[in-house]
Amino acid sequence: MSDDKKDVLIAAYLFEDLAKRDFDAVLKLAEDKAITVEGVVLVQKDTHGEVHVTETGDHLGRKGLKIGGGAGLVVGLFAPPLLAATAVGAAAGGVMAKFAKHRVESGIAEKMDDALPPGSGGVIAIYDSGGADAVDKALPNAVKKSVAQIDGMSANELKAGLAEAQAGMGG
Amino acid sequence: MSDETIDRTRLPIRRPPFSGVAEQTLGGSRPDWAQIGHVKPPEGSPNVLVVLIDDAGFGNPGAFGGPIDTPNYDRIADQGLRYNRFHVTAMCSPTRAALLTGRNHHAVGMGGIPEASSGFPGYSAMLPKDAAPFPKVLKENGYSTAAIGKWHLTPEKEQGPAGPFDHWPNAWGFDYYWGFLAPEASQFDTMIAENQKFVGVQEGKDGEPFYFPEAMTDQAIDWLHGVRGHDSEKPWMLYYSTGCSHSPHHVSKEWSDKYKGRFDQGWDKLRGETFERQKKLGVVPTDAILTPRDESMPAWDSLDENRRRVCARQMEVYAGYSENADHHVGRLLDSIEAMGELDNTIVVWIWGDNGASLEGTPSGTFNEGTMLNGLPLTDQEQLQLTLKWGGLEAWGTEMMYPHYSSAWAWAGNTPFAWGKQVASHLGGTRNPLVVRYPQRITDNGGLRSQFTHVSDIGPTILEMVEIPQPMHVDGIEQQPMTGASFADSLADANASEHHTQQYFENFGNRAMYKEGWWLAMRMPRIPWRLDPDVLKHFAPGVWKPDEDPVELYYLPDDFSQATDLSASHPEKVKELQSLFWEEAEKYHVKPLLAGFAGFFGILPPIGTITTNTYHGVVQNIAPGAVPRIYNHSYTISADLHIPDDGAEGVIVAEASHLGGFSLFVQDGKLKHTYAFLGVFEYRQESRNELPAGDVNVQMIFKADEAKPATPGEVTLLVNGEPVGGGRMDHTVPFIFSGYAGMDVGLDNGLVVDRSYAEKAPFAFTGTVQKVVFDVAPHLDDQDEHAMHEHASQSDIARGISG
């Protein structure tokens, strides 16, 4: 972790393809090492309010559907129950609870819950706060952006918990 | 009675003298059966159908070259005539008043709108008894008459069970009325009035959701069937007035999706395409010039991708909504045809009571209520709020109160400049008219270009059915109709022009037409601006109307008003300016801006009633009759009975999540939700559950100060004890909704708090014994005056969109 403070950003979109365009732009920043990214996730919230992960990207700007590490951190902070479907399985209730607790205590939950209304697309990213300007410029199509912060230590703890849970699931 | 000797110039027609014999007993007596007869119209009188579409422009329907498919309008135009120089006033109620009375709108008190009755005769919104509408004339001459759909001619303060009913549709001469009285209505949960009573939100048929255009058509057809079933000969007159295409633009996806991609080219290109089609059709002369875009509207190419896509969808919805209206008129026409009466019916179909509406602001809006309340939202905020309420999938549904961009309206008025409210220009005042009547029209599909005006419709119909304009009605001498019949033009394309002179005026925008010359006198105010910065230029003593810039056009050579001749014809400018003031004097147009008087501190007397008490369940209280809770402190107090096993449901609720409030019980707790125009929601709830038995609950709003949109503190009380509360940083300054009403004991229609939407109307399961609004706690005289002034302004703001 190169920076103590991390921004947790949710950018909301009216159009899924525009969200994808911006998602790719943020990943390009990561690939070019213009910013330090934990993970980026492209999601769609359906009209019933259910969130679906469409695509993920890691700290090197690589896309992939396997959700772990930084992408898992993103998913977990945004919607802990999604971890069950995407990363750790339904049995790993402990790690989900950790994420849920952190969301509430840090105030992230309050900021994030309404950030993505039903029917919208979203780009969710966690990156070093120093890259905020660059990320902001990479998201020209976002209709609304909400930013919360998480300290590096907490992020590490959550990621470690996630890795542990994933290991348990695997073995 | 259909005797030639009947004097039809005095209405009601007197009963005939008794021509029988009446002895002391029946012995030797002979009845005169004419005593129990009814007045009959002249032999062979045809039916009359008048169709009026709302808020639409010259360049909207396909029949006039527009991009909207209107197969039924095409059908009637092709079987009848297109009139391409037909004029309306630039506002809703004034056009309707001129249409139905055959007189100038100011002359019948409708220079403004019924939400702002003013103390000047041209702006009272009170139909004078010396101006009997032509439907009343037909009725008194033996026609069955009905009005179905939008009304917007009844003073708002009279819209309740206490009336009076002199200005409701029945009193205008309609035997039957079904529709909505407001300037606009949700098409999915319309608050319906029938005759002289609000009957509220209706159910759809066959388990389908209610949809006003469909329901009003069913009502119209039912009425026709009923009349014909009862009397096989009696002619009828039906005024069918759609809520479409006024905001909210509500239509199912099935209709809007037909237009997917058809507006991606944007308004600038659409305008050019429409113009070419218009010329090809012949409704616009080939030498006409397309007028340019005003700088208040953005170029399509200047929009970013989000806005382009959102704006394109706005127009897809508007187009689908409009085509749906055409479809339902088609159903009505089909049913008349099936009755075998279409060829004996004069069909008059006007596409737009004024030009298309510019009131959506340049960005378009998810909630027109934000514009009515003067809430400035940036383009980005409009996008965010669109997203909040369901994105583009929800545009056109009940979740929004949508209005498209003003630039789409401008494109809908192709080839003219401006639109609704702007009486100085043809974009606000020239609309399509088609007439079908095979008994007179021989050149089906023909074009007529005589200068005609909406006030001509009544005189034309009366001439065609051979009923004279009455001199006296109900003992009152009538002012003559100022419209001129154009009946001779039906058979004769070259008939001379009878309407050679006409003034136009709406909210200070004015024009004077005489024998081809048109002097345009536009106030320097764009229609979506009502803020003090703009209005201060028009204050008493400040505004000098004759110093407004003028434009002069010669319409026979310049169909679209593209070439301003004012500099080269100063004498004509002067002549028409003077003529305007003569007409203004004659028809009560003066004082200009009387409809805006409230904005300049000229107010009706302050009402003395500060409490409203509702006993039991009271439903469908019209928006204008809702207690004035805006901009100051107020209290709602309710006496309830809670059964031992608890209760839930709404105690009192006004309007919807797009603006409104609800005091309700949920999960045993007292809750209050205040919806700030769909932008913010404020919620408070009691800490504990309500006790069983007789309970008094209160919601006290203590305003920080009496001022528009004041913040303040909410306190909830149960049996006098504070149990919860919270702060509201913003409150609605003008009005929650242009159309949704208030209910006690339930929340009819679209609900205020979506948390109980699944249980709507969420009727209270205990007993609501009484609800009392106290709207003037703690107001001193100065505050009271200030709030009264603001309330008057809010009425204008609301009505202006009509």
At residue B609, the pLDDT reads: 79
At residue A117, the pLDDT reads: 87
Strands B236-241 and B47-53: parallel
Strands B452-453 and B144-150: unpaired
Residue of A nearest to B306 (CA): A141
**Rounded CA gap, B576 and B565, in Å?**
13
Of A47, A117, A141, the CB nearest to B305: A141
**Measured between CB atoms, does A130 come within 8 Å of chain B?**
no
What amino acid occupies position B436?
R
The stretch A15-29 carries a mean pLDDT of 95
**Rounded CA gap, B519 and B511, in Å?**
5
**Rounded CA gap, B41 and B11, in Å?**
13
How many CA atoms within 13 Å lie on the side-chain side of B348?
A: 29
**Measured between CB atoms, does A119 come within 8 Å of chain B?**
yes
When the pLDDT of each residue in chain B is averaged and rounded to a whole number, the result is 94
Is the model's pLDDT at B296 over the cut of 60? yes
**Looking at per-residue confidence, does B242 or A120 come out higher?**
B242
Contacts A139 to B, Cβ<8 Å:
none
**Rounded CA gap, B472 and B480, in Å?**
10
Q: What is the side-by-side strand order in the sheet with B649-656?
A: B618-621, B742-744, B649-656, B659-666, B669-676, B680-689
At residue A50, the pLDDT reads: 84
Is the model's pLDDT at A66 over the cut of 70? no
Residue of B nearest to A15 (CA): B306
Strands B81-83 and B669-676: unpaired
Contacts B309 to A, Cβ<8 Å:
14-15
Is the model's pLDDT at B90 over the cut of 60? yes
Surface of A (12-51) touching B: CB under 8 A: 12-15, 18, 47
**Measured between CB atoms, does A141 come within 8 Å of chain B?**
yes
Evaluated on CA atoms A21, A26, A28, A31, the torsion sign reads: negative
**CA-to-CA separations, A123 to A7, A108, B306, B693, B696, in angstroms, rounded:** 13, 16, 16, 52, 49
Of A47, A119, A144, the CB nearest to B384: A144
pTM of the shown model:
0.94
**CA-to-CA separations, B762 to B642, B681, B756, in angstroms, rounded:** 15, 19, 7
Q: What is the DSSP letter of B580?
A: H
Considering only CA atoms, which of B632, B718, B622, B704 is closest in space to residue B672? Answer: B718
Q: For a pLDDT cut of 70, what percent of chain B falls above it?
A: 96
Q: Rounded to a whole number, what is the distance in Å from the CA of A92 to chain B's nearest CA?
A: 31
**Measured between CB atoms, does A94 come within 8 Å of chain B?**
no
The stretch B562-572 carries a mean pLDDT of 98
Return the beta strands (E) in B366-507 as ranges: 433-436, 446-448, 452-453, 472-473, 476-477, 501-506
Helix, strand and coil percent figures for chain B, each rounded to 5: 30, 20, 50
Write the CB contacts of B452 (distance below 8 Å, at least 6 apart in sequence). B83, B85, B86, B87, B433, B486, B489, B499
Q: How far apart are the first and last CA of chain A?
A: 28
Q: Rounded to a whole number, what is the distance in Å from the CA of A69 to chain B's nearest CA?
A: 31
At residue B565, the pLDDT reads: 98
| Chain A / chain B CB contacts < 8 angstroms | 42
Q: What is the DSSP letter of B209?
A: P
Q: How confident is the model at residue B10 (pLDDT cuts 50, 70, 90)?
A: very high
**Rounded CA gap, B421 and B91, in Å?**
6
Is the model's pLDDT at B736 over the cut of 50? yes
ipTM of the complex: 0.84
- Candidates B253, B260, B384, B681: best to mutate against A (most CBs of A within 10 A) is B384
At residue B375, the pLDDT reads: 85
Whether B306 sits inside 8 A of A119 (CB atoms) is no
Q: Per the structure block, which two tokens stand in for B689?
A: 């559950």
At residue B778, the pLDDT reads: 55
Is the model's pLDDT at B59 over the cut of 70? yes
